[in-house]
Chains A and B, each alone.
Chain A
Amino acid sequence: QVQLKETGPDLVQLTQTLSITCTVSGFSLTTYNVHWVRQPPGKGLEWMGAMWNGGGTDYNSAFKSRLSISRDTSKSQVFLKMNSLQTDDTAKYFCARHRLVYGSYFFDYWGQGVMVTVSS
């Protein structure tokens, strides 16, 4: 059974660093890619970046200078780390599995998300 679960702080102080863990089960991080997507309250979805199954990463340039994605395959975990948080980083952060199907590019499973508030 495929599952993704995000864990992280509810509250982060302004200018501090956010760290979120996505723990997956039912599949291997060496077979599937995992992406990060965020959603500010009442707003739409924003792609942040990806951890490729081969160990590489890709980032949305809107975050590139302050976002880092890494993984620990032995623990089936993908990590998001973002520094210099501002109030507009308040959002629900999701991890999602990217199913590799030839000719397609989509996320077939999502975590339930973790809501992070940036406070001054």
Chain B
Amino acid sequence: DVVLTQTPPTLSATIGQSVSISCRSSQSLLDSDGDTYLNWLLQRPGQSPQLLIYSVSNVESGVPNRFSGSGSETDFTLKISGVEAEDLGVYYCMQATHAPLTFGSGTKLEIK
């Protein structure tokens, strides 16, 4: 199975600070069809996960534009440009290029 390693495991940020989360894959996530199936999700405390970014860099409708995604092959980054209080929670990367679909171990964002 593809292993997604997220760093850091925990992140502490002040309001307005910009932060980045890394997701490294044990295999390239570039599919033979030319697409890269890497998504980012946020799970707020006590809530279900919600989609933030799909296919590396596409921001889901309704998600604030302070969230952005980048990367290719095995290295991916989620950036939050100006953290807000509502951004606290656990961020997961998720790959769907290789079966079975797998998730990263999560990065917990705390607000100072």
A residues near B (Cβ < 8 Å) are: 35, 37, 44-47, 58, 60-62, 94, 96, 101, 103-108, 110-113
Contacts and interface: CB of A to CB of B under 8 A. Distances in A.
Interface of B: 33, 35, 37, 39, 48-51, 54-55, 58, 60, 92, 94, 96, 99-106
12 contacts: A45-B94, A45-B103, A58-B99, A60-B100, A62-B100, A94-B48, A101-B54, A103-B33, A105-B54, A106-B60, A110-B50, A113-B48
A103 B35 contact: yes
Contacts of B55: 103-106
A62 B1 CA distance: 10
Given A44-B106, A106-B51, A110-B48, 5 more contacts: A47-B101, A62-B100, A105-B55, A105-B96, A106-B96
